[in-house]
Amino acid sequence: MKTITNRRKISAFLALWLMLPGFLLLSGCGGDKGSITIPWTTPESLVFAYPYPGQQEVTPSTQMVLRFSAPLEETVIAEIDERLQLVTVESGAPVVFSHEIVDNGRGLLLRPVDGLVPNTEYQLQLSEAGLGTINTGAFSDFRFRTAGAQQGFSGAIGNGDFQLLAVTPLDQSALLVDIEDASQPNDMSTLRMAFNRLLDPAGINYGEQVRLENAQGGLVEATLLLQGRYLVLDPRDDLEPTEHTLILSGLRSREDEELPLLERSFTPVATLPRETAVLKVGTLGEQQPELTSRLTGQSVNEVPVETFVLGNESFTRLEGDLAADLAFVPDFPDAVPLRVPAGSVLRGSPVAVNILGEITSGIETGEVLITLLSDANGYLIANPFSKAQDAPRYALLNMDAAMTAGGTIANAALSQNLLNIQVVGLAIVEDGVLVMDAVSVVEPEILGLERASGLLSFRLEAYADQRNAPVPPTDARPLELQSWSPGEDFQPNARPGDPVILNFNKPLDAASVFLDGAIQIFADGNLVARELAPMRHDGATVVIDGSNLQHNTDIEIVLTSLLRDTQGNPLNQDQTLALRLDDLFLPGGSAANLRSPVAAVFPGFSCALTGAVLTGPRSAWRNGRCVGGKGSDPLFHVDSLYKDYPVRVTFNRSIDPATINDATFFVERRAPDNSWVLEPGRLDILPQRVQFFPDTPWQVGELYRYTLRSVPTSANCGVNAICAPDGAPLQTRQISQTSASAPAPREGGPDMVNYFVAAGEDERYTLVGLRVLPVVDVNANMVLDAEEQGAVVLPDSSIDAPPNHLRLELKSFGGVITDANLGCSLGQDCPEKRFAFLSSGALAAGPRTFDPDVEVNRRLIDGNPATDNFATGAIRANIYPTTISTTSAFLEARALFLITIGLDTGPLVLRLVAQGEDEPFITGFISDTPDGPWFNATIDILVDAPELEPRLIIELGHDIRSKRVRDVVLEGPLRFVDDGRLILKVRNPDPLLIPANIDLFGLGLGSVELEVPALAADLTLTFLPVKNF
C-alpha cells in the first residue's frame, strides 16, 4: 500500500516535475517580441558645395557646384530658378544664373550669367518651397565672399584701410574653424596671406618686411611668393613644434600705403609619423576619357580655359601622380592635415589657342605643366553637411601653382603664378580605393589681355597597393632661359617703362630669384641697385620693372646659376643679356629741342576736341572733332568702354610721371542733373603709359569724360599741363587751317576731353593696345634726324626701309609747277629719301565677334596684290580711330620753269577713321591662314600737313588739311614673337593717292599728286608687353 502510495506520489511528482514547465512556458509565451524598427533616416541633404558656406577668397568667375545625397525631384528641378536665389548680402540684388543638372539630379551647377563681382559677399537663399526631400539646414545661412580683384578697380580689390585679411592656417576657413585638430598650423604648413590691397613687389623682401622667426628669434628659411593681393610664405623645411612668430613690418601696397606692424605667434603641431599616399590624377586601370565629374558633370581633369579672347572651347587635360603626405591619422581624428609637396608636377595636354575660339593664333602651347610652387596644405574632415555615415569626407586644399607651357611663345604668353588656389572636394573609399572628386576655379591671365576662368573638375584615385605605387616623376629638365622680352631681336619694339621679362623653361624657386647675385643688372657697366630695378617672380618668369629703363644706355642682365628651379636645379649656364633701347637723339644736344609729346588715347580720340553732341539718343552722341581741323571734319563717335577696362593713354615719348596727377588727368561722370561729378580712381603711371581705374567699376550705360590737361604755352607742368621731363606740354592740337596757326613744335594745346560710355556684355570686346613700333623717329620730333637711320640702298640697288614708313612717289604735278622731285633736288635720284616715317603712336583694338558669313580677300598673302585669296568667316575687331604722325617729306619743285622752291611737308598728321560717318569705329577682320591670323581693314585717312608752307615769294595756301584718302585697304599678318607679344604688320595692296593743290588766296596755282604705291605703306604695330611689373 505504502509502495503504491509512494509510486503514485512519485508518478504525480514526476509528472508535475516534467509537465509544469511546459504549461508555464506555454503561458509565458503570451507575447512575442514585436519588431522594433528605427525610423531615423539621415535626412537627405547637401553633401557638397563649392563655394561652401563661409568660404572666403572665392574666385569671382566661379560657378556654384552643389551635390546632394539624393537626386532632386523633377518638380524641384523644374522650379530651381524660383527656389534658389543667389543675392548680394549688402543689397539683396539677385544674380542671374543658368543652371545645369548633374549626375541625374544629384548635382546642380549654377552659372552666374555675368560672373560674380569681386570683393562682394553673396548669399545663396532657398525659397520656402525648399528642395523637396532635401534638408534645407545647410541653406539657412549660406554666405560666401568673392576674392578681391588682382588688378583694376580699387573697390573691387578691397575696401577699408590696408590690412591683412587672413593668414591661412592661422585664420582657418569656416569649415575648419571649429575643429580642434585644425586650430593650429602644423609642421607642414605654408602660410598664405591675403590682403585688401595689391602688394608692391618692389618693397617686399623675405627677411626684411616679412619674417618668420623661430623661438630663438632666428629667421626660418623660406620662400616668399607674391601675386596681387596674395603673399605666400613657404618654409623650406618642416617647422619645429616650438613657438614661431610671423612679422610683417613696412609692407607697402601698390598705392604706397604702409601696413601697420603685425606679429602673429603660433606653435606648429607635429604631424609625425606621416604617411605618403600616391594618388593618380585620373582613374586607375583602363583610361576612361568619357568620364565626367560627379560634381560638375564636366570631363574630369580638364582645365577649361574660358575667355572672351579664346572662346570657351580651349582646355588642357591634366594627368600625373601626386604624392600626398598625410599626418598621422590617429592623432588627428577630426581633421587630418595633408600636404602635397612643392615641386609636384601635373602635365596637361596642349591648349588650342584660337582667337575667339575660331581663328588659329599660331601658338603651339606644347605640354602645359602645372607645378606646385609651395607645399599645398589641406585637411580631410568629416562631411560638414551630413551626419550620414556614408557621407563622403570633405577635402580642402590650398595650393600655389605655376603654369608653364612647353612652347616658347606660349610659355612667354601663358607662364604665370596662380596663387591661393582653393581646391574643395569629396573623398571616399570605394571598392578599397580612395577616390577624390574635387573642384577649383583658377583664373589664368591669357596673353596679358584677359583673365580666363577655368573650373577644374579633379578626379584622383589612390593606388590600391601603396607599397608599390609609382613614384611621381619630377620635372628633371635642366633650367634654362627660354626667351626674354624685349629679347635680342625686338629691342626697337620696346620703350622706357616696358618691363624686361625673362621666360624660363620651368618654374623658378622664388627664393633663388631674389638672392644677391642671381640676377644682376648693369647699366653702362654699373651695377643697378635693386630698388631701381625691382623684380617679381611669376611662374617660370621674372619680370623686371622697366620704369627706369632709358634710351642710350647699355643694359646688361646677368643670370647666374644661383637661380634654381623648384627642385633646386641651377640654371644650366650663366648668361648675359644685352639690352639697348633705340638711341634717342637730342637735337642740338638738348632735350629742350624735342617736340611736345603726343598722346594716343582710348576711349576717345587723340586730340583736343570741339563740337561734342551729348543730347538725344545715344547713337546721336558725338565726341566732337579735332580742334584745328575743318568744320566739316567728321564728328567722332562716343566710344563704348567695356566695363572691365581702364582709360588708357600712350605717349609717343616719355613724360614726366610727376606731371600726371589728379589735377592734370581726371575722370568725371555725368550726373542725372547733367553736372559732372569727379570719379575717384587710381592712376597707374609708367614713363610712356598711363591707365586710370576708377575706384568702383564703371557703371554700364553711364556717360563719363576724362581730361588730359594742357595749355598752349607757358605750361605750369603738373598743375595745368602734362609735360615731358623737358617741360614741353602735351600737344593736344596738331593741326591747323593755316600755316601760321600751325602749332609750334613745343606748343601744347587745349585740354583734351574725351567722352565715353561704359558698356556691358552686349558690347564686349577684348581691349588690345598696339603701339607703332619700331620707329626710326625715336625722339618723336617728326623729323628724320641725321642720326636716325632711314632707308638705305643695298648693294643690289634695292632699298631697305625700316618698318613703319610710307614710300612716296610723285605721281604728277601741274599748274604753275613745271617740274618736281621728291626727296632731293631736281635732277637727283634719291629713292632712299622718298619715305615718310611714322612716329610712334598707338591704337586700340577690340576683337569682338566671329562672323561666319563675312568674306575677306587676303590679297597680300602671297605678296602679290594682283591675286585674290578669299576666305569666309572672320573675326570682327573694333579698330578705334586714332592719329599717327609722320616725319616730313621733302619736295623740290620748279614753278613756271624758273623758280625752284624747296617744300618741306612738315609732319604729316594722319587721322585713321572709319569709312562712313555713321561708323563708330573701323572694323577690322581677322581670318585664318595656314601661317597664322591675317588682318584686313579698309579705312579712310584724313591727311594734314599743318606745317607745310609753300612759298613762291609770298606764302601760298595748300589744301592738305583734312584731306580724305578714301578706302585705304591695309592687310597683313598678325604674328607672335618669342617673347609672347603679337606683332601686326600691314601694308597696302592698292596705291594711295594724295593730291595736293597750291593756291594763292584761294586761286588754284598748281597741283602735286603724291602716291604711296601698292605695298609701299608699312604699318607695324607691336602689342603691349604681356606682363607688367
Partner 1 sequence: MTRKPHRFIPTNSSLYLTAVIIGALSNPALAGAGDAASTYGLGPANAGSAQAFSAFEPGAWALYYNPAAMARSPEGELSVVLQHGDQELRAKSLGGSDPLVRQNDILSDTSSELLLLGIKTRIGGASETARPMYLGINVGLDEYASNILPFQANTAEEGQFMRYQSQPLYLAFGAAVRDIVRGVDAGFSARLTLAAKARLEAVSDLAGNTDSEQLSLEGSPGLSPALGLNIRMSELFCGSSPCMPFGLDRLEAAVFWRDASDYEVSVDANVVIPGVVPDPGLDLALSTIDSFQPEVFGGSLLLPLGKFELVASLEQQKWSELESKFAGDSVRNQADMQFVDVTVPRLGASFRWSDQLRLFGGVALEDSPLKSSRSQDVNFLDSDKMVLGVGGDYRLDSAPVINAPVVLSLAYQYQKLDKRDFELTSINSPSDPAPYETVRADGDIQVISLSASVKF
Does residue 10 belong to the site contacting partner 1 (CB under 8 A)? yes
Binding mask 371-410 for partner 1 (x = CB under 8 A): ----------------------------------------
Does residue 434 belong to the site contacting partner 1 (CB under 8 A)? yes
The CA distances from residue 1011 to 8, 835, 941, 995, in Å, are 149, 11, 14, 8
| Distance in Å, CB of 181 to partner 1, minimum | 15
Residue 427 is placed in which grid cell? 573623398
Distance CA 47, CA 309 (A): 36
Q: Between 236 and 387, name the residue whose CB sits nearer to partner 1.
A: 387
Choosing from 77, 126, 179, 433, the residue that interacts with partner 1 (CB under 8 A) is 433
Residue 129 is placed in which grid cell? 518651397
Distance CA 1009, CA 990 (A): 16
Number of residues that bind partner 1 (CB under 8 A): 53
Please give the sequence-ordered ranges of beta strands (E in DSSP) within 431-518, or none if there are none.
Answer: 433-442, 445-446, 450-451, 454-462, 481-485, 497-504
Distance CA 971, CA 954 (A): 43
CA angle 10, 16, 18 (to 5 degrees): 100
Q: Between 35 and 632, name the residue whose CB sits nearer to partner 1.
A: 35
Does residue 9 belong to the site contacting partner 1 (CB under 8 A)? yes
Q: Between 40 and 1001, name the residue whose CB sits nearer to partner 1.
A: 40
Stretch that binds partner 1, among 15-23, 231-239, 782-790, 835-843 (CB under 8 A): 15-23
| Distance in Å, CB of 471 to partner 1, minimum | 13
Does residue 471 belong to the site contacting partner 1 (CB under 8 A)? no
Does residue 1 belong to the site contacting partner 1 (CB under 8 A)? no
Q: Between 25 and 786, name the residue whose CB sits nearer to partner 1.
A: 25
Stretch that binds partner 1, among 242-250, 429-437, 668-676, 864-872 (CB under 8 A): 429-437
Binding mask 35-64 for partner 1 (x = CB under 8 A): xxxxxx--x---------------------
Does residue 2 belong to the site contacting partner 1 (CB under 8 A)? no
Choosing from 30, 160, 289, 852, the residue that interacts with partner 1 (CB under 8 A) is 30
Cis peptide before 235 (omega within 30 of 0): no
Stretch that binds partner 1, among 430-438, 828-836, 890-898, 996-1004 (CB under 8 A): 430-438
Q: Between 186 and 1022, name the residue whose CB sits nearer to partner 1.
A: 186
3-class secondary structure, 776: coil
Does residue 824 belong to the site contacting partner 1 (CB under 8 A)? no
Please give the sequence-ordered ranges of beta strands (E in DSSP) within 687-781, or none if there are none.
Answer: 689-694, 703-708, 752-759, 768-772
DSSP state for residue 516 in the 8-state scheme: T
Residue 193 is placed in which grid cell? 596671406
| Distance in Å, CB of 467 to partner 1, minimum | 5
Stretch that binds partner 1, among 1-9, 637-645, 903-911, 923-931 (CB under 8 A): 1-9
Does residue 283 belong to the site contacting partner 1 (CB under 8 A)? no
Q: Between 114 and 275, name the residue whose CB sits nearer to partner 1.
A: 275
Say if strands 599-602 and 647-651 run parallel, antiparallel, or are unpaired. antiparallel
| Distance in Å, CB of 433 to partner 1, minimum | 7
Q: Between 174 and 469, name the residue whose CB sits nearer to partner 1.
A: 469
Distance CA 52, CA 395 (A): 12
| Distance in Å, CB of 279 to partner 1, minimum | 9
Does residue 284 belong to the site contacting partner 1 (CB under 8 A)? no
Binding mask 130-169 for partner 1 (x = CB under 8 A): ----------------------------------------
The CA radius of gyration of the chain, in Å to the nearest whole number, is 36
Give the DSSP letter string of 302-336. EEE-BBTTTBS--EEEEEEEEEEEE--GGG-SSEE
Does residue 671 belong to the site contacting partner 1 (CB under 8 A)? no
3-class secondary structure, 11: helix
| Distance in Å, CB of 17 to partner 1, minimum | 5
3-class secondary structure, 639: strand
Residue (of 366, 361, 387, 448) closest to 413 by Cα position: 448
Choosing from 133, 267, 463, 669, the residue that interacts with partner 1 (CB under 8 A) is 463
Tally Cβ neighbours within 10 Å of residue 577: 18
CA 173, 177, 179, 181 torsion: positive or negative?
A: positive
| Distance in Å, CB of 978 to partner 1, minimum | 44
Residue (of 516, 517, 515, 519) closest to 501 by Cα position: 519
Residue (of 953, 950, 958) closest to 899 by Cα position: 953
Q: Between 277 and 912, name the residue whose CB sits nearer to partner 1.
A: 277
Residue 271 is placed in which grid cell? 604631424
DSSP state for residue 760 in the 8-state scheme: -
Instruction: Write the burial class of residue 702 (CB in 10 Å: 0-12 exposed, 13-18 middle, 19+ buried).
Output: middle
Stretch that binds partner 1, among 23-31, 124-132, 556-564, 763-771 (CB under 8 A): 23-31
| Distance in Å, CB of 434 to partner 1, minimum | 6
| Distance in Å, CB of 390 to partner 1, minimum | 13
Side-chain half-sphere of 81: how many Cα atoms within 13 Å? 10
Binding mask 239-278 for partner 1 (x = CB under 8 A): ----------------------------------xxxxxx
| Distance in Å, CB of 41 to partner 1, minimum | 9
Does residue 31 belong to the site contacting partner 1 (CB under 8 A)? yes
Stretch that binds partner 1, among 11-19, 599-607, 958-966, 995-1003 (CB under 8 A): 11-19
Mark 483-513 as b/e (b = at least 16 C-beta within 10 Å): bbbbbeebbbbbbbbbbbbbbbbbbbbbbbb
Stretch that binds partner 1, among 192-200, 461-469, 574-582, 892-900 (CB under 8 A): 461-469
Give yes or no for a contact between 475 and 95, defined as CB atoms under 8 angstroms apart: no
Does residue 305 belong to the site contacting partner 1 (CB under 8 A)? no
Q: Between 269 and 462, name the residue whose CB sits nearer to partner 1.
A: 462
| Distance in Å, CB of 50 to partner 1, minimum | 25
Distance CA 331, CA 324 (A): 17
Binding mask 315-344 for partner 1 (x = CB under 8 A): -----------x-xxx--------------
| Distance in Å, CB of 137 to partner 1, minimum | 11
Instruction: Write the burial class of residue 811 (CB in 10 Å: 0-12 exposed, 13-18 middle, 19+ buried).
Output: middle
Binding mask 83-122 for partner 1 (x = CB under 8 A): ----------------------------------------
Give the DSSP letter string of 784-853. --TTS---EE-TTS-EE--SSEEE-EEEEEEETEEEEEESS-TT---GGG-EEEBPP-EEEEEEEEEEEE
Choosing from 431, 796, 853, 918, the residue that interacts with partner 1 (CB under 8 A) is 431
The CA distances from residue 415 to 543, 569, 951, in Å, are 11, 19, 59
Q: Between 29 and 954, name the residue whose CB sits nearer to partner 1.
A: 29
Residue (of 572, 510, 506) closest to 347 by Cα position: 506
DSSP state for residue 155 in the 8-state scheme: H
Q: Between 125 and 283, name the residue whose CB sits nearer to partner 1.
A: 283
Q: Between 133 and 349, name the residue whose CB sits nearer to partner 1.
A: 133
Question: To the nearest 10°, the Cα dihedral for 6, 7, 9, 14?
Answer: 140
Does residue 176 belong to the site contacting partner 1 (CB under 8 A)? no
| Distance in Å, CB of 49 to partner 1, minimum | 22
Q: Which residues of this chain interact with partner 1, rule CB under 8 A?
A: 6-7, 9-11, 13-14, 16-22, 24-25, 27-40, 43, 273-278, 326, 328-330, 429, 431-434, 462-467, 469
